[in-house]
Each structure stands twice: as C-alpha cells, then as structure tokens.
Structure 1
Amino acid sequence: MPHLRAAGHNAYPLTLSGLADKRGLPAGQQTHVRDIVDEIERRDLRDVVLVGHSYSGIPVGQAAERIGDRLTRVIFVDSAVPADGESFASVWPDGGAAVRASIAANGGFWPVVGAAHFDGNGLTSEQVARIVEGSTPHPGASLVEPAVLARPLGELPATYLKCVLDDPEPSDDVAELLTGERWELVELDTGHWPMFSRPRELAALLVTAGSRDAGS
C-alpha cells in the first residue's frame, strides 16, 4: 500500500468477514462478496481497480460484475477465479474432499498452515514468521459455497498477474479466460506472496494494469 499511495493512488484494504479482527462473524462466500460491494458503495468509490489475491479472487471476481460502471479493471494476483456454480473447494483435483475434511475436523474452519508451507516462495524467515503470526483460520463456509455470476467472467476487463516461481503456468480455467480479448496476462518472478517478497514491483504492476482502461 505505501508504494501505491506514493504513486498517487488511494488504496482501501478490506478485511473480509470471519477473518483477523472480524473473527466471529458468520462468513459464507456471498458474505465476502457483499463485504466488497458494500465497502465500495459506502465510500462511493468510482474508477475502481479491484484486486484479489489467492482465495479472494473468487469474491472479488463476483463483486466486480456487481459494481457496474464503478469498475475500471479487476486484477487477480495469483488467485483463484470464480466459476458460476462452483466453489473454491470444488475445483481442487479431488473435488474438494480434502478441504471439506479439514474444515470438518477443525470446527468449521480451514486451519492456518505452518511455516514450511511457504518454502520456495522467495520469502525471508522474518516474512514467513510475520505471515504465520498474522494468520487466522479461514471460515469454511466461504470455501464450499458456490459462486454466482450473472454473466461470463471473460467479459470483465481483467489482468491476471501470475507469480511464476512456484508454478510458471496459469491454471486451465485462467488460461481459457486469457484467450478472450478483455483479459491479459502479466508475470512476476516471485512466489505466491508478492506483497511481501516483491512489494515495490507488485505495486508498479498494479498501477500499470489499473491504468489500462483509464479515461476509456
């Protein structure tokens, strides 16, 4: 965020319901979509560039189509993307069985991962410790509730930012979306957590991608 603000942009980080200081709030996936839409409408934001990382690409992609002409572009940072009728868990190779089992065994939450999970992501030990210490269990309902899209995701102006250090290729669903005229691919040579490993470069890419449709 400091790099975005230094470049003259406003940035509004949002904690989704059920996480961090909002723990204890009921939180399905559609709750998270409403969190995003409500924040944009509450602030009466225009020329919005929505950014979603990892899981949050799923609610961000849905929110992007619901804010109408407030949207300039949506940027997916090494994230999942929503598919109508599909959940975060259902697109996993095992159909989400492992995710569902983990949620069931942990009181309805997907548990926090340990430090070893972050190996190979270009992070320092201090950065890994910061992520782990700041993590909270993820509300399971948001991972198994299906996405709801009123129109094809490929119709949105979008940038997919792929972090190539751990996996150089986009997933099949993202690759298909990238064949459309409104989607573009940008690559960053780091792991899944670029806001920690390459914050300055990430901010520069967000500014560049977000300006694609400015004034158009």
Structure 2
Amino acid sequence: MSLRYGAAMADFVLVAGARLGSWAWDEVVPHLVAAGHDAFPLTLSGLAERRGEPTGQQTHVQDIVDEVERRNLRDVVLVGHSYSGIPVGQAAERIGDRLARVVFVDASVPADGEPFVAEWPDGGAAMTATIAENGGFWPVAAAAHYRGHGLTDEQIARIVSNSTPHPGGTLTEPAVLARPLDGLPATYIKCTLGDPEPGDDVARLLTNQGWRLVEMDTGHWPMFSRPRELARILDQILIDAPAK
C-alpha cells in the first residue's frame, strides 16, 4: 500500500488504554475499513484474551513492534489511547520508515526514564499502593469511574464487564526513548469534556512543527462515546497533517 497525502490510505494499529483489549475498537474499525484503510486492533500482553501472559512495559512496546513487523505493515498510523500512549510512543520510534504518523487519543506521552504513574498528582504513590494491595494489578474500575464522560449506561456496563485488571509493572516501569518525541509526526486528540486543556508535557510537544492538535467534545473513551466521529478524525489525519 502506498500512502499518498491528500488521498491517504493507511494501516492503522489501534491500542486501547489500561484494562482494555482489542474489543474496545469494535465500533471504530468498520468505519476505517469503509473509508478504505486497513485496521488492526491490538490486545497487549496480560489483558483481555491475553490475560495471564507475563508482561512489562517493554513487553507492551514489543507487542506493537511485533504486530507491525509480523503483518509487514507499511504507512502505519499507530494509535494509542490513554495509558497506551506510553508504549505506542516508544514503538513509534522503533518501526522506522514504516511509520506514517502516531496518534495519541487523550493519551499519556512517554518521557525517557519516567513511568506512567509519574504524571499522577501524588507521583503515583496511591496507584502504586493499590497495585501492591491487589497482587500486582491495577483493579478494574467501578461504573462510577466512567460517568461524566458522555457514555450511556449500556456503554459503561460493557466497558466494566469486559475490562480486566491491568498488569501493574507496565504502569510503574520507566519508558525508554532513544530520542525525544519532538521529531515524530504526531497528532494529539484531546477529549475536552470535563478536562479541556492538554497537560504541560503535551502542550510543549504541540509547539513542534510535526505535531498538531484535534479536539473532540466528549469524554476520555471516545471509541465508545463517539466511534464514528473518532474514525472520521483518524481518516482525515493524514490528509490534514503537515507535509513531511
């Protein structure tokens, strides 16, 4: 497949956030395929149907790299939601010229030597304690966690019933970057419902030429609350992106 700006077809590798698996993209994939793209939702080690597999943060990075290489994908758009921005951001620099763009969907972005929990207000102390109390896992969140994000009761019930405890090491282990993210071709999708502004780390990255911001008027889980709109944004990203 040859990527052509202005009429871009791409291979989308979709990675959902903590506790979720490939199933989280079920309502997004058909819209991407209908637009002419190939879409590959990925379950990371230790989650969903891969629950019980040993894993760490670098295992998740390798999961993504292996998916790209195993399928021999080209013109790849890596999409990371929430926690998965951490491994996706690391994988993006490791797949070389296969990468067309990386998309962070209301996601954390990796910084070399920093873990996911570092961005939390208490430096991750409460989350780290919770992981220790739950056998090394971040437990599944209750329904109340998802309220106020533009989700229906049915959507919340689906998320809760299909979620799995998240392997704690992936949240507390440091990211490993050979270079800063500044030079990546990247789009940050900010979900503005209840939290309208990107964090300071993302705001700094958005000052770089290859980065751009797209806003969605919905909550943190747009693949459930606005799947058609999210797919439309993803479809347009390469057309609207700054030229390489």
Common topology (TM > 0.5): yes
Structure 1 residue aligned with 2:14: none
Question: In structure 2, what is the equivalent of residue 3 of structure 1?
Answer: 31
SS at match of 1:5: helix
Give the fraction of aligned pairs with identical amino acids, expressed as a percent. 73
**Root-mean-square deviation (CA), in Å?**
1.2
Question: Does structure 1 residue 122 correspond to structure 2 residue 180?
Answer: no
Look up the match of 1:34. 62
Deviations 1:111-152 (A, max 9, x none): 000000111100100000000001000000000010001011
Which residue number in structure 1 is paired with residue 212 of structure 2?
184
- Using the alignment, how far apart are the partners of 1:206 and 1:133 within structure 2? 27
Give per-residue Cα distances to partners, 1:31-58, cap 9 Å, x unaligned.
0000000110000100000000000000
Deviation at 1:212, TM superposition (A): 4.3
Q: What is the rounded CA distance, in whole Å, between the counterparts of 2:133 and 2:80 in structure 1?
A: 28
SS at match of 1:13: strand
Could you tell me which runs of 5 or more consecutive residues in structure 2 were left unpaired when the two chains were aligned.
Answer: 1-28
Tell me the TM-score normalised to structure 2 length: 0.86
Structure 1 residue matching 2:236: 3-state secondary structure: helix
Instruction: Give the alignment's TM-score, normalised by structure 1.
Output: 0.97
SS of the residue 1:85 aligns to: coil
Deviation at 1:87, TM superposition (A): 0.3
Matched residue type, 2:192:
V
- Rounded to whole Å, the distance in 2 between the matches of 1:32 and 1:181 is 28
Is 2:112 the partner of 1:84?
Answer: yes
Residue 202 of structure 1 is matched in structure 2 by 230
> 1-side partners of 2:85 and 2:58: how far apart?
13
Measure the CA separation in 1 of the matches of 2:98 and 2:87: 17
Shift of 1:19: 0.3
Q: Which consecutive residues of structure 1, in runs of 5 or more, have no partner in the other structure?
A: none
CA distance in 2, matches of 1:202, 1:129: 21
Q: Does 1:65 align with 2:93?
A: yes
Alpha-carbon distance between aligned partners in 2 of 1:44 and 1:162, rounded to the nearest angstrom: 30
SS in 1 for 2:103: strand
For residue 4 of structure 1, give the secondary structure of its aligned residue in structure 2: helix
- For 2:194 and 2:167, locate their aligned partners in 1 and report how far apart those are by CA, in whole Å: 26
Contact 2:210 2:242 in 1 (8 A): no
Distance 1:164 1:196, change over 3 A: same
Deviation at 1:211, TM superposition (A): 3.4
Does 2:128 align with 1:100?
Answer: yes
Contact 1:72 1:214 in 2 (8 A): no
